[in-house]
Amino acid sequence: MKPNPNTALIFGGSGQDGAYLSELLLAQGYEVHGTSRDHDASPFSNLVRLGIRDRVQVHSAVLNDFRSVAQTIAKVKPDRIFNLAAQSSVGLSFSHPVETIDSIMHGTINILEAIRFIGLDTRFYNASSSECFGNTAAAGATEDTPFQPRSPYAVGKAASFWAVANYREAYNLYACSGILFNHESPLRPSRYVTQKIVRGVVDISEGKADSLSLGALDIARDWGWAADYVDAMARMLDLDTPSDFVIATGVMVTLRDFVDAAFRCVDLDWQRYVTTDANLLRPSDISISVGDPSKAERDLGWRATVTMPALVDRLVAEEILRRKAS
């Protein structure tokens, strides 16, 4: 089946990455379709926040229901499909392991199988995660670094990565995975630690709170800007041959340094306000997670444009502006 040219379907179009990807693809001249479990009930607030809600066509799709997925793909007939859906919180995955793994793994398989069953000549991007690697060396994980997942979320992402590789090899589908390291924006929900820090810092600066409780401060991560990372997703589907890529800044920063940078934005000393709470620690966590984006730079011409501490400056400034506007 021939697809509709310049048509993109984003499963998980209401999330952070789905919203930024929609904005990018619209600017590139694509007709963009996005999904949520119930499009009539979903406010698609991130699309609204970016001012593009009326330009994205929305559909209801339940990823663990093959019929729902296949019907949506057959209706839209896109030449680009992006899978950005599923439960995306590592911390929450320990409380809901079955739901998390099921939403990630079954959703990916259903999209792949629907493409094969329908016979649609399309290109498929799957959102994998740096969590698959577990702890990395300080030099950064590459596409050849073995997976050692340390959470139910990571287990699901690792399984879906190999499902994409299997369908690519077995059925000659144009299918690839982006192994994305942490990427942030003002569209992140408050349950993510970066937004908890940013909002907590602004609360303290405004006199609405007098402390901020966090877990381990010595963990190190590779934090980037979400709008940069969706650009890499789009570029991956422009290659003649599908391939998997690590998408990262290559810069390792401890959570302590992230906290320090956030408090510096409001001229406060973080050590006067931050407390540690053992109840916030995960059953197992990653000490060091950093990526090596060399392949993406070489083959995609992609490089992160926003790194620390500019990333934190931007997040805090956006939070202050959001409050003034509300």
pLDDT score of 135: 96
3-state secondary structure 27-86: HCCCEEEEEECCCCCCCCHHHHHCCCHHHCEEEECCCCCHHHHHHHHHHHCEEEEEECCC
Mean of the pLDDT values across residues 247-272?
97
Q: Over the Cα atoms of the chain, what is R_g?
A: 19
Give me the pLDDT at residue 103, please.
Answer: 87
Structure tokens at 316: 């805090």
Torsion sign (Cα): 272, 268, 195, 154? negative
pLDDT of residue 250: 97
Helices (H) and strands (E) in the chain, counts: 11, 13
Q: Which pLDDT tens digit goes with each residue over 216-247?
A: 999 999 999 999 999 999 999 999 999 999 99
Amino acid, res. 159: A
pLDDT for residue 178 is more than 90: yes
Residue 151 and residue 109: Cα distance in Å, rounded? 20
Q: Is the pLDDT of residue 170 over 90?
A: yes
Catalytic, out of 20, 30, 125, 153: 153
pLDDT value, residue 35: 95
Q: What is the pLDDT of residues 31-60, one digit of tens each?
A: 999 999 888 778 899 999 999 999 999 999
Cis status, amide bond into 309, omega within 30 of 0: yes
Among candidate residues 88, 93, 103, 129, the one labeled active-site is 129
**For residue 307, what pLDDT is reported?**
95
Percent of the chain with pLDDT over 90: 87
Q: What is the mean pLDDT of the chain?
A: 95
Query: Which pLDDT does position 256 carry in this prediction?
Result: 97
Share of the chain above pLDDT 70, in %: 100
pLDDT at 89 over 80: no
**pLDDT for position 124:** 98
Supply the pLDDT for residue 133.
98
What mean pLDDT is predicted for residues 72-87? 94
Q: Check if 131 is active-site.
A: yes
| 281 pLDDT higher than 80 | no
Residue 167: both structure tokens together: 């369908």
Taken in order of first residue, the domains within the chain and their CATH numbers are 4-183+225-247 (3.40.50.720), 189-222+251-289+306-325 (3.90.25.10)
Considering the candidates 22, 88, 128, 131, report the single residue annotated as catalytic: 131
pLDDT in the model for residue 326? 80
Burial code (b: 16+ CB inside 10 Å, e: under 16) for 10-34 equals bbbbbbbbbbbbbbbbbeeebbbbb
Mention every residue, 6+ apart, whose C-beta is less than 8 A from residue 324. none
Higher-confidence position of 190 and 253: 253
pLDDT, position 13? 92
Q: Specify whether 153 is catalytic.
A: yes
pLDDT the model gives residue 255: 96
Helix (H) or strand (E) holding 323, with range, is helix 310-325
Q: CA 159, CA 137: separation in Å to the nearest integer?
A: 22
pLDDT for 248? 98
Inform me whether the pLDDT recorded for 296 exceeds 90: yes
